[in-house]
Amino acid sequence: MPSTPSRGSVALVTLGCTRNEVDSEELAGRLSAEGWTLVDDAADADVALVNTCGFVEQAKKDSIDTLLEAADLKESGRTKAVVAVGCLAERYGQTLADELPDADAVLGFDSYRDMSSHLTAILAGERPASHVPSDRRRLLPLSPVDRSAAADAVALPGHGDGEAFVRSRLGGGPWAPLKIASGCDRRCSFCAIPMFRGSFVSRRPTDVLAEARWLGEQGVSELFLVSENSTSYGKDLGDLGLLEKLLPELTAVPGVERVRVSYLQPAEVRPGLLGAMADTPGVMPWYDLSFQHSSETVLRRMRRFGGTEPFLDLIGRVRDRQPLAGVRSNVIVGFPGETEADVDELERFLTQARMDVVGVFGYSDEDGTEAESLGDKLPEHVVLERVERITGLVEELTAQRASERVGERVIVLVEDHDEDDEGVAIGRAEHQGPDVDGVCLVRAADGALPAVGEFVEGEVVDSVGVDLVVEVR
């Protein structure tokens, strides 16, 4: 009888957001269960599996550059195959394959459950058919309440297979993202995500809790709840208040000290959710609010709701309950039809909001979106000028906000040690989110360096930009 071929080794290279990190760890779990050896460096792997990002032009470029770099390894290292997966692969499929002949396969979300078979075939010299993109919103019923019964038949990366989820951690840090939903039902005119991520689907609370318990057993002390729109959680399960009910259960998971909720749509933030986030012990005072702009005119062209005054009111309600809460957001400048008066209005909002972190993006067309066909496009140099203008303001305001925290007592989760200064630990306070916000630079008065994963209490004694200098006292 013929022997079973060796599975080989695979390195997962993850680009983009924390949602992609969850997807990569699910792929890692599936491959590990099938006998593949997971390695950290693509140069040491038979297969480089690149989980791409397709969100904005720079992310697309970074994904393509990473694929090309991985392909170069086939000439000089152990690597035999390079496979593209993730959002860029799902979005462009065959087109991406045609532009990147050095990639041995471009596979979509539907291939994730059978990834082991695909990689085995590729190493055997086969070249699987490239993914053919489609609008994934059409895969599920239009009505949210009808989706739950149909969702199991649709590939939803990061959702696992119910309570029998499959996941292998690719890092050993003390925090981890936990996906609570996928997709989005909003129709923002600039955003292509719903087309390739599909309609909004909540994970069942039992599935979320099962994975949370597993993460707690792996030494994770902070759960970072991720989705495309966390404020919609539960609407397809018949209970729009489900997140409020889930939060206390997550904070009660053994080993879990912190729960953090990402990506809140301002128009969907309910008083009950604000109350649950503020009043549930263990839920961090951190509010990731997707404002995008504050001019009502621009927001309507974006197919969004709100404006300066409603947004300031929302931030005010957060700070009435939690004066030291962290508030972050992103804004887009240079949107078609944006006037100088609109930019002035955005400046007024940012100045009064005094958020802790603000990401600034210049508008660029996204394939297949409504905004792509809008008139009144601004010249590229105008968009760049406005990005520079708003970025300068944001840097000044967020640095001021950080300096105002001098004297505060904070509890920091230590995540790393500074390579350049052996006396400094790096971590995050309760008001700081992972990856995208500032950090705390921690020094112990006695010189003892806190261990990674340790919670330490100290006083903010200085700030450097959005980062805080903390002394343990």
Residues 186 and 255 in one domain: yes
As a whole number, mean pLDDT of residues 243-248 equals 98
Domain extent for 387? 149-403
Beta-sheet pairing, 222-226 with 175-179: parallel
Residue 436 lies in a domain: yes
User: Measuring CA to CA, how many Å separate 303 from each of 133, 149, 267, 396, 461?
Assistant: 25, 30, 12, 30, 43
* pLDDT tens per residue, range 133-156: 999 999 999 999 899 888 888 999
For residue 97, the domain's CATH number is: 3.40.50.12160
pLDDT band at 59 (very low <50, low <70, confident <90, very high): confident
Over 50: is that where the pLDDT of 4 sits?
no
Listed residue (299, 272, 275, 295) closest to 285, CA to CA: 275
Residue 26 lies in a domain: yes
Q: How high is the pLDDT of residue 75?
A: 87
For residue 341, the domain's CATH number is: 3.80.30.20
209 φ/ψ angles, rounded to the nearest 5 degrees = -65, -40
- Our measurement of the distance from residue 207's CA atom to the centroid of its chain's CA atoms, rounded to an integer in Å, reads 20
Q: How high is the pLDDT of residue 6?
A: 59
Residues 394 and 415 in one domain: no
Residues 223 and 179 in one domain: yes
Residue 144 lies in a domain: no
In contact, 45 and 39? CB cutoff 8 Å = yes
Residues 197 and 279 in one domain: yes
Residues 107 and 161 in one domain: no
Domain boundary residue, one of 386, 403, 420: 403
pLDDT over 70 for what percent of the chain?
Answer: 98
Q: How high is the pLDDT of residue 444?
A: 83
Q: Which of 76-80, 232-236, 315-319, 464-468 has the lowest mean pLDDT?
A: 76-80
Q: How high is the pLDDT of residue 1?
A: 37
Residues 188 and 162 in one domain: yes
Over 70: is that where the pLDDT of 164 sits?
no
Q: How high is the pLDDT of residue 381?
A: 97
Q: What total number of domains does the chain contain?
A: 3
Residue 141 lies in a domain: no
Instruction: Please tell me whether the overall predicted TM-score, pTM, comes out greater than 0.85 for this model.
Output: yes
Residues 436 and 337 in one domain: no
Beta strands in 29-122 (DSSP E): 37-38, 47-52, 81-86, 105-106
Q: Cβ of 103: how many Cβ atoms within 10 Å?
A: 23
| DSSP code at position 334 | S
pLDDT band at 163 (very low <50, low <70, confident <90, very high): low
pLDDT band at 115 (very low <50, low <70, confident <90, very high): very high
For residue 420, the domain's CATH number is: 2.40.50.140
* pLDDT tens per residue, range 409-432: 999 999 999 888 888 999 999 999
Domain boundary residue, one of 356, 371, 403: 403
The overall average pLDDT reported for the chain is 94
Residues 127 and 261 in one domain: no
Residues 190 and 312 in one domain: yes
